[in-house]
Structure 1
Amino acid sequence: MNIETALKEAMTIDGAQGAALVDYGSGMSLGTIGGGRALDLEVAAAGNTEVVRAKLRTMASLALDDTIEDMLITLNKQYHIIRLLAAPGGQLFLYLVLDRDRANLALARHHLKRIERELSL
């Protein structure tokens, strides 16, 4: 599936409020869907790029021989899931914002894994 289809698929996840595909090398989004005035996905893409970079630096400092599958940020009203993609040579992550009252976190993570498998870049 292409980027547009992948993002549309992410928005079918219960509670989805916005989604983006982000290049954390540059901090730029390759595509966004949803969001709005209260959720600027371009700002979120840039900010979460720094979160990913900080975690990767920390892992390198600790000499951890591992990779990040996903990161979860839990807010009072939302879940923010950052799923790093295992694309060869890529520095990409899928970013999904969920309404905490409507979302099933386990199912959302499962759907993001499936989207990653089917995404063609």
Structure 2
Amino acid sequence: MTIMLIGNKSDLERREVSFDEGAAFARQHGLIFLETSAKTAQNVDEAFILTARKIYENIQRGIYDLSNEAHGIKCGPVNAYGSRQGSGKTRRNCCVSAHAVVASGLI
């Protein structure tokens, strides 16, 4: 399983959790770690791209079986609203649509 731990509000001076604490926790639990800021959009795209790359690497290494949808990976083109084409379902969430297209372009 690929999980990313995101430390949000990286634009603030006062921190509840330091970068080092977040990074150490992620390292101990085998997670990807990145700090982001929703206010400035810093590292928001990178969070999705890093996660997609890690999933792609795991596919290439044979960790995920693409023929088994139980792994949570669905193959096929993604439309602009983040759902698979032909599924009949669309989601109109701007973040999902933008990042689904980015992720599908990496795989």
Scaled by the length of structure 1, what TM-score is found? 0.25
Greater relative CO (CA pairs within 8 A, separation 6+): 1
User: Which structure: greater helix fraction?
Assistant: 2
Q: Which has the higher Rg, Structure 1 or Structure 2?
A: 2
Scaled by the length of structure 2, what TM-score is found? 0.28
User: Which structure: greater strand fraction?
Assistant: 1
